[in-house]
Structure formats: structure tokens, C-alpha cells
């Protein structure tokens, strides 16, 4: 009876291992997916900045993209390094970014 249980467990482990190995080899890897998502999200922020107001805050980015606070900060910092936006204010909830 116990050998049947071990056999079933072995079969299940084999199925899961085969599935994950096959998925990893055939699909898009995590790094490519992350870079693609980052590029798409930065594009969404650029489109948002084309609006008449042309200013954006961390909270706006979080709502627009449904991302965390730290991810929103990274996106805004990337756009600031590109020279697209400039930070107004130094710290806290009153900080926003204005289009250059």
C-alpha cells in the first residue's frame, strides 16, 4: 500500500517538474517581461504628461499603473534622469513633478 503512495507522489512531482521546465524554456523570461512592462508603464506616464496640466505626483503614478510607492518613485526618477520632468519640492506628500 505504501509503495502506491510513493509512486503517486513521484508521478505528481514529475508532472509539476515537467510543466515548469517546459514553461521556462518556451515562454518569455522574467527579465524580458519586466523590461517590457517597465517600457509600457513609462509610455503611459509620458502620455499622461501630455495632458493640459502637465504635472504628476507619486500618487498619480500609483493610481495610473496600480504599482507600489517605490515602483512609482523609480519610474519618476527614470523620467527625471531623461530630462522629461523636474521635481518640485523636496520631501513628503507635497512633492510633484512638472514637465520640462
Contacts of 78 by beta carbon, 8 Å cutoff, 6+ apart: 42
Say which CATH class 30-99 falls into: mainly alpha
**Domain boundary assignment for the chain:** 30-99
First to last CA, the chain: 73
Tell the burial category of 47 from Cβ atoms under 10 Å away from its Cβ (0-12, 13-18, 19+).
exposed
DSSP secondary structure letter of residue 55 = E
Residue by residue, pLDDT tens for the chain (100 residues) are 688 888 888 899 988 888 877 766 555 666 788 888 999 999 999 999 987 678 899 999 999 999 999 999 999 999 999 999 999 998 888 899 999 8
Amino acid at each position: 500500500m505504501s509503495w502506491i503512495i510513493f509512486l503517486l507522489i513521484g508521478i505528481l512531482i514529475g508532472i509539476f517538474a515537467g510543466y515548469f521546465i517546459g514553461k521556462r524554456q518556451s515562454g518569455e523570461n522574467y527579465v524580458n517581461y519586466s523590461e517590457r512592462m517597465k517600457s509600457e508603464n513609462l509610455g503611459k506616464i509620458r502620455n499622461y504628461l501630455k495632458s493640459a496640466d502637465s504635472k504628476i505626483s507619486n500618487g498619480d503614478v500609483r493610481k495610473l499603473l496600480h504599482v507600489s510607492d517605490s515602483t512609482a518613485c523609480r519610474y519618476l526618477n527614470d523620467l527625471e534622469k531623461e530630462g522629461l520632468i523636474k521635481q518640485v519640492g523636496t520631501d513628503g506628500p507635497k512633492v510633484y513633478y512638472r514637465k520640462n
